[in-house]
Amino acid sequence: MVPYVYDFTEGGRSMAALLGGKGANLAEMARLGLPVPPGFIVTTQACRVFLTTGAEPPSLAGELADHLAALEASAGRSLGQPDDPLLLSVRSGARFSMPGMMETVLDVGLTDAGVAGLAKASGSDRFAWDSYRRLLQMFGSTVMGVDAELFERALARLKEFVGAPDDVSLSASDLAELVDTYKALIRDETGEEFPQDPAEQLRRAVRAVFASWNGERARVYRRRAHIPDDLGTAVTVQRMVFGNLGSASGSGVAFTRDPATGRPGAYGDYLPDAQGEDVVAGVRNTVPLAELERLDPNAYSHLMGHLRVLEQHYRDLCDVEFTIERGTLWMLQTRVGQRTAEAAFTIAAALADEGRIDVDEALTRVGGDGLARLMFPRFDASATGDPLARGVPASPGAAVGAAVFDSAEAARRAARGEKVVLVREETTPDDLPGMVAAQAVLTARGGKTSHAAVVARGMGKVCVCGAERLAVDVRGRRLVVGDTVVEEGAVLSVDGSEGAVYVGAVPLMDSTVMRYFETGERADGVVDAVAGALDQADRVRRLEVRANADTPEDAARARRFGAQGIGLCRTEHMFLGDRRQLVEAMILAHTDAERERALDALLPLQRADFVGILTAMDGLPVTIRLLDPPLHEFLPDHTELAVRVATAARPDPHDVALLDAVERMHESNPMLGLRGVRLGLVVPGLVAMQVRAVAEAVVECRRSGGHPRAEIMVPLIATVEELRLVREEVERVLAEVSASSGLTVDCPVGTMIELPRAALTAGGIAAEAEFFSFGTNDLTQTTWGFSRDDVEAAFFSAYLAKGVFPVSPFETIDRQGVGRLVESAVAEGRAARPDLTIGVCGEHGGNPESVRFFHDAGLDYVSCSPFRVPVARLEAGRAAI
Ligand code: PEP
Ligand code: MG
């Protein structure tokens, strides 16, 4: 029969699922010969039985008794023994750390009869009564269900009555009186006496720890940390050791390296004459660990030895909790320690240099999220106060600037050298100049794939969107949050990594890692560590990494950041600014001749764009997507225009024509309307103009000695018929340009797969496509039926809180749904055309967890904004290990 209780000597680190993280690591330390107070562990399996049946497994009581007997034999005294009681700590410990979320009962075994014995054995009356009142307090609330607040109030009343400024000032007799108060409290609240049988105390404490798995706090924590609800907790039962037995005792925490910077050398805090709980609770100020060397050189040198053993053994940064009881050092906990992103890279590189781990393992110890954090300026965490508002952390980094409420003002102030934060209800393509000019973009509406988010991420601008508490008053040039009014020009600090906005200027810390990507300068050890990890990732990864870029500057940056081409050039971004009038003219054209004139005017501009981008990416593939967004986005706002026409004495005929067009083109669901390939098929000449611009750009680059590799991509295909029609047009134009230039211009033609129907009929579509690129933004939108611009701010926070999904499907690919469409399209596409190139260019292409999925799904490349290229390279490498 599988046991429900394991002695420390029977367990080990690999058994965390059964023994919990704490228990497994205590067992490991015991096996390494480190001084661990003896004990045993009740398994998570026993807890699961309790949680499902409401009762402990029948054999548990017997096993507990046997292990207790063995513990008593080794200690030479028994639980609660009146003249010198053995006391126990009973602690929770799940497989995944859930700090402070479940229960602990200390000093189990103490009774009325044992207090005097403990006082004698320890030489301290005060210590004995203090231990007893701690037990009553913890047992009373945790096991017997008395409101913890009642104990706190009784303690506060006593302190006030005797004039004690803190707990430590209470005398032995004060504490003895408190014990009586607590006992009466338990009796009054439960109708039951505090149990004087030590074995009963132990049994009930174990049961209470089991039950605490389903406490409110623990359930909420698990939901947030994505920890399954059915794991259960183990219970570690261990002999108590005391750090509060005078100046030769104490408790502390230590790390084998600095968890903030990764620098070698032990690091930690120590509190003389205190229990471990006191260190964590911060009741008194701790001293740096180095001080322990002076206070107790012997214990210090033992501790340093143990830390070396642990780091050697775990081959990683470890943290420990320890207690010194009258000069004897005890190790109470260890685990592979949490660390900052900076420390993660530094430590992985150092351990690889020291030959303790190999370079592949070093790569598994770092991650894309951490790298993203290191790439952007950060706020000095010690200098932030309460945020003014919170929103979606849409584009990482930190920025400070004056609040402005429209694009023109942003551009005006930026031209004067001022730093600005563009604040909008939401952004549209019209806001682009303002976004370029601003340090950060802040919106009250929209989620991670809203216009603001996608564009800001592409530009590497800080962005917080969907900060719903903001009331943005564009006319009044101010924003209001509750009682706070921020007028135009007032300084805001925006943290795009955390999704927070602060009033005033929070001090900024620059990123040396970003400087390295931009200039190659290796300013510090963190940069060396990041560069080393990326080198290794590049060696092992199978996925290529391309960038989403629409300008030569972005293309050049993407290349510096390691992109192997452009996976998505959104041509609609090239139709903004001054060119909007030309687009307007195209939309308003009444005759073919008018439309052709407008298209002819656009052609040279597009061609010049493409020459710039192809030159910046010379020799590498550049996937140019035909125009995608709804045409009405290029027309003025309906309300503004209608007001202008209605209030003018003699309306401008151009305005009237525009208003007519805006009304004609109005759609209830523009995202599902006239966009993508549909535009190309209904606006005569549009595809031909764009393809001609690409082909002529290719010719021009080739004539100047370049090696342009343009690819043409068709958006929003639902059926192969659409692609076939566009393809005919593309081939006709390519043939014309080839004939007129005397050079063979041969661009691969492919399609985006961003509608479920396209994914489901991928085999047929592959017959007409040389490549696929998954548009996972639209594929997520259309598979879930979630409007990508609206839902995140509207109700995702409620969905996340209720656990409908653990993370937004616009951020991390939904493997079961959208991912399944991707997998089936890959399989069908490759079956139809084995040499089909397949990539992804939705926002998921730069999301660490999603990159792993795309690797598993067998894609050839991921494409993401230039700033996420290093993150994607790193994650593609990690996925390949
Ligand atoms: C997509 O839908 O994933 C995509 C890349 O296209 P866009 O975001 O431009 O619609
Ligand atoms: Mg799309």
pLDDT digits (tens, 9 = 90+) for 39-50: 999 999 999 999
What spacing in Å lies between the alpha carbon of 777 and ligand 1's midpoint? 5
Longest dimension (CA), the chain: 107
- Within 10 Å of residue 157's Cβ, how many Cβ atoms? 12
What spacing in Å lies between the alpha carbon of 633 and ligand 2's midpoint? 15
Minimum-distance ligand to the CA of 810?
Answer: 1
Domain count, the chain: 4
What average pLDDT does the segment 740-750 reach?
A: 97
CA–CA separation, 359 vs 881, rounded Å? 11
Range of the domain at 160: 5-239
CATH of residue 401's domain is: 3.50.30.10
CA–CA separation, 7 vs 15, rounded Å? 13
What rounded mean pLDDT belongs to the chain?
Answer: 93
Q: What is the pLDDT of residue 286?
A: 78
Same domain, 442 and 322: no
Q: What is the pLDDT of residue 224?
A: 67
What spacing in Å lies between the alpha carbon of 166 and ligand 2's midpoint? 63
pLDDT digits (tens, 9 = 90+) for 249-305: 999 989 999 887 898 888 888 999 888 877 665 556 778 899 999 999 999 999 999
What average pLDDT does the segment 495-516 reach?
A: 92
Same domain, 481 and 549: no
Same domain, 265 and 231: no
Same domain, 561 and 449: no
| 223: nearest Cα among 396, 96, 336, 48 | 96
Most confident of 10-24, 96-110, 390-404: 10-24
What average pLDDT does the segment 756-768 reach?
A: 98
Q: What is the pLDDT of residue 102?
A: 87
pLDDT digits (tens, 9 = 90+) for 559-569: 999 999 999 99
CATH of residue 833's domain is: 3.20.20.60
Does the beta carbon of 775 lie inside 6 Å of ligand 1? yes
User: Which DSSP state fits 431?
Assistant: G
E strands in 804-860: 837-840
* Residue 486 dihedral angles phi and psi, to the nearest 5°: -110, 110
What average pLDDT does the segment 501-527 reach?
A: 94
* 3-state DSSP assignment of residue 601: helix
Choose one of 510, 531, 556: the last residue of a domain.
510
CA–CA separation, 678 vs 133, rounded Å? 76
- Name the residue with higher pLDDT: 512 or 338: 512
Q: Read off the amino acid at residue 637.
A: D
- 239-243, 737-741, 789-793, 835-839: which range is least confident on average? 789-793
For the purposes of burial, counting CB atoms within 10 Å of the CB of 804, is it exposed (0-12), middle (13-18) or buried (19 or more)?
exposed
E strands in 209-352: 233-239, 250-257, 264-272, 287-288, 318-325, 328-336
User: Which DSSP state fits 635?
Assistant: S
Q: What is the pLDDT of residue 449?
A: 64
- Name the residue with higher pLDDT: 218 or 759: 759
For ligand 1, atom 5: residue with the closest CA? 842
What average pLDDT does the segment 777-787 reach?
A: 96
Minimum-distance ligand to the CA of 822?
Answer: 1
* 3-state DSSP assignment of residue 854: helix
For ligand 1, atom 6: residue with the closest CA? 775
- Name the residue with higher pLDDT: 511 or 396: 511
CA–CA separation, 546 vs 534, rounded Å? 15
User: Which DSSP state fits 796?
Assistant: I
Residue pair 530/549 in contact (Cβ under 8 Å)? The answer is no
Does the beta carbon of 777 lie inside 6 Å of ligand 1? yes
Pairing of strands 398-404, 420-424: parallel
Asked if residue 25 has pLDDT above 60, the reply is: yes
pLDDT class of 168 with cuts at 50, 70, 90: confident
Q: Is 747 a catalytic residue?
A: no
**Alpha-carbon distances, residue 785 vs 706, 778, 790, 791 (angstroms):** 44, 10, 11, 10
**302, 306, 451, 855: the active-site residue:** 451
What is the value of pTM for the model shown? 0.83
* 3-state DSSP assignment of residue 42: strand
Tokens, residue 397: 């980094």
Same domain, 564 and 440: no
* 3-state DSSP assignment of residue 526: helix
Residue 654: partners with Cβ closer than 8 Å, 6 or more residues away: none
What average pLDDT does the segment 566-591 reach?
A: 87
**Alpha-carbon distances, residue 211 vs 34, 142, 205, 385, 592 (angstroms):** 31, 10, 10, 37, 76
Same domain, 275 and 391: no
**569, 841, 844, 864: the active-site residue:** 841
Residue 258: partners with Cβ closer than 8 Å, 6 or more residues away: 264, 265, 267, 343
CA–CA separation, 799 vs 768, rounded Å? 40
CATH of residue 194's domain is: 3.30.1490.20
**For a pLDDT cut of 70, what percent of the chain falls above it?**
99
- Name the residue with higher pLDDT: 56 or 225: 56
Q: What is the pLDDT of residue 280?
A: 60
Same domain, 435 and 505: yes
Give the angle subtended at the CA of 569 by the CAs of 565 and 570, to the nearest 5°: 165
Choose one of 461, 493, 510: the last residue of a domain.
510
Pairing of strands 749-753, 709-714: parallel
Q: Which residues surround ligand 2, an ion (CB under 5 A)?
A: 754, 775, 778
Same domain, 34 and 151: yes
Q: What is the ipTM of this complex?
A: 0.99
What spacing in Å lies between the alpha carbon of 778 and ligand 1's midpoint? 6
Does the beta carbon of 842 lie inside 6 Å of ligand 1? yes
Q: What is the pLDDT of residue 666?
A: 87
What spacing in Å lies between the alpha carbon of 841 and ligand 1's midpoint? 7
Choose one of 471, 491, 510: the last residue of a domain.
510
Q: Read off the amino acid at residue 451.
A: H
User: Which DSSP state fits 877?
Assistant: H
Does the beta carbon of 628 lie inside 6 Å of ligand 1? yes
Does the beta carbon of 778 lie inside 6 Å of ligand 1? yes
Q: What is the pLDDT of residue 258?
A: 87
Residue pair 41/235 in contact (Cβ under 8 Å)? The answer is yes
CA–CA separation, 213 vs 234, rounded Å? 10
Pairing of strands 250-257, 104-108: unpaired
Pairing of strands 420-424, 440-443: parallel
For ligand 1, atom 8: residue with the closest CA? 777
Asked if residue 580 has pLDDT above 60, the reply is: yes
Indicate whether 528 belongs to any domain.
no
- Position in ligand 1 atom list of the atom nearest CA 844: 3
Same domain, 110 and 178: yes
Q: Read off the amino acid at residue 834.
A: P
Same domain, 99 and 155: yes
Q: What is the pLDDT of residue 633?
A: 78
Indicate whether 785 belongs to any domain.
yes
Residue pair 232/17 in contact (Cβ under 8 Å)? The answer is no
Indicate whether 448 belongs to any domain.
yes
Same domain, 20 and 154: yes
Same domain, 285 and 402: no
What spacing in Å lies between the alpha carbon of 109 and ligand 2's midpoint? 66
Indicate whether 267 belongs to any domain.
yes
For ligand 1, atom 10: residue with the closest CA? 778
Q: What is the pLDDT of residue 382?
A: 78
Indicate whether 205 belongs to any domain.
yes
CATH of residue 300's domain is: 3.30.470.20
For ligand 1, atom 9: residue with the closest CA? 570
Indicate whether 661 belongs to any domain.
no
Indicate whether 489 belongs to any domain.
yes
Indicate whether 762 belongs to any domain.
yes
